Structure 1
Amino acid sequence: MKNFKLICLLVLAIGVFSCSSDSDGENSDSAALTVNGNPVTLSNVFAQKSERTIAISAIGSNGSSIELLFNKFGDLESVLYDTENGDSYYNYQYFKSNYFTFNIVSLNESTNRVKVTYNGTLYTNENDLNSGSITISGSFDTEYINQTPLITGTGLFCKIAGQDWYETDFWDNGFSNVDRKFISDDDKMIVMNLTEETIGTGTYTFTNNSSNKIGFAKFNTTTKEYDFYQTTGTLTITSNTIVSSFIRIIEGTFSLTATNSSGSIQVTNGTFKTNF
């Protein structure tokens, strides 16, 4: 079982976009970055979009580099800054929007153009707010190229209390019993528990004590841990397919009621297509 998000891009196009004006004088590209209050000139900006995921990277004049990964709905997945000395800094992995500010100013999918702004703190350990840190801020206004993934439509979507929710990242236990945790950039987590990767198609009605179920949790900013809710609901496996010698794709739907001492939350319209 994989413990990384499989984006399944085709081979990247050769070449990069530079921070310069287009030949017709319109839609000039721009990129800005400040690290610990010091401006860094960026060049070799490269941006690509694969379905709903967008990635932007650039090289600093001092030999550093920066990479942003997010979805077209404005949910941040990751920020990585590598210094000229080879030190790496990351955004905090959990409840990202609480610890790092990221905004899509505009996205035009007809002209393949995106503009974003960002600022916040990055850490040497993405799981430790007390690790070494730097502060950054900046923006990109650039064209992107479209890439078609080898496996289309992967990801998890649902409505949480009536609001659209798209996962940006997941990890799991790496063993035969599936314990996969999906997060976005907010405080919520959807957990997929399956007895095995080879689970058959069908509908599974679950409670919190079931083996095949979908769980729910919210990040606690005081304890820096997730608080798990009791859940009841329905999980339907619509497809379980081996697509290569090392990749299995499971698709399905779900809905649930999550309950704790403060009340209940409805999770509806859940769909997923995820790789193992």
Structure 2
Amino acid sequence: MKNLKFMMLLVLSVALCSCDNSDDSDGGGDPIPRNVDFQATINGGAFTDYQFVLGTYYADSTEGTLIISVTDSNANIVRIFINETNNLGTSTENIIGDESIQGFINTVTVQDQANSVTYTSVSGSITILENVISANENGISYITGDFEIVLNSETSTDSVTLNGAFADVRFVNQM
């Protein structure tokens, strides 16, 4: 009986000692959960200090371009297209209008749903601050960056500025 109690105590001790705070991640640096965020301010056209806040998003890299499409609670949409020229590397600046060898162009669009107006980027940049490859999800990356963009209306002479940032946007990295 003494041996049984000792064995139970030993098993319990080993179990308690083997659990620590590092078990709160995947062991490869991926905090669980990652908190996606997207925030931007839009000025110009029908927008006056409009705070665009993440509602839903979709992100994927296909055929040499990362596409981040974000919709807010008013159904306005921001789409960011970043080509593979800089491999989405950390601390890289992606200039609006730059074209990759495959013909993909860095661009941003804003769709103002209330006024049925689409704005397309004419200048600015998107800076990748961090691109983390997931250690526990094969082919998955998390990207963080900021942007300062000037966009023109496709149907009028209106222009808008779009300034903001995104964090921990999860995408299938096919680049």
Q: TM-score range by the shorter chain?
A: 0.5 to 0.7
TM-superposed deviation, 1:138: 1.4
Distance 1:102 1:146 in 2: 18
Pair 1:81-2:110 in alignment: yes
Which residue in the other structure is 1:120 paired with?
149
Which residue in the other structure is 1:134 paired with?
160
What aligned pairs does 1:189-228 form with structure 2 within 5 A after superposition? none
**What SS does the corresponding residue of 2:55 show, helix, strand or coil?**
strand
Deviations 1:172-228 (A, max 9, x none): xxxxxxxxxxxxxxxxxxxxxxxxxxxxxxxxxxxxxxxxxxxxxxxxxxxxxxxxx
Higher RCO (C-alpha 8 Å, min separation 6): 2
Distance 1:51 1:83 in 2: 28
Pair 1:59-2:71 in alignment: yes
TM-score using structure 2 length = 0.58
Gaps of 5+ in 1: 1-23, 93-98, 149-276
Structure number with bigger Rg: 2
Give the % identical residues. Answer: 20
Residue type of the alignment partner of 1:88? T
Distance 1:51 1:147 in 2: 8
Pair 1:108-2:132 in alignment: yes
Distance 2:63 2:77 in 1: 25
Contact conserved, 2:80 with 2:108, CA < 8 A, in 1? yes
Q: Runs of 4+ in structure 1 displaced over 3 angstroms? A: none
The structure that is helix-richer by fraction is 2
Contact conserved, 1:124 with 1:133, CA < 8 A, in 2? yes
The structure that is strand-richer by fraction is 1
Residue type of the alignment partner of 1:103? T
Distance 1:147 1:120 in 2: 26
Residue type of the alignment partner of 1:145? V
Contact conserved, 1:40 with 1:62, CA < 8 A, in 2? no
Distance 2:64 2:132 in 1: 13
Count of residue pairs the alignment pairs up:
116
Residue type of the alignment partner of 1:54? L
Distance 2:159 2:62 in 1: 30
TM-superposed deviation, 1:47: 0.7
Distance 1:120 1:51 in 2: 24
Distance 2:54 2:33 in 1: 20
What is the CA RMSD across the aligned residues, in angstroms?
Answer: 2.4
